[in-house]
Amino acid sequence: MWIRFILAAAGAVTTLLVAQDAPNFAVVQGIVAIALIAAVIFVIAALRR
């Protein structure tokens, strides 16, 4: 369930960076989604220490 919110946020951030009709929009959205997931995991790991 939480992954859906991260992917929605990735779509919003990607829309700010790249036009939706650009041919590489899906690739950039995937990269942003991976970066957001990594950031969430980093924050969780940092808070548990």
Structure tokens at 14: 């990607």
Residue 6 pLDDT > 90:
no
3-state secondary structure of 18: coil
pLDDT of residue 26: 92
CA dist., res. 47 & res. 44, Å (int): 5
Q: What is the pTM of this model?
A: 0.82
State the pLDDT at residue 9: 92
List the domain boundaries for the chain: 1-48
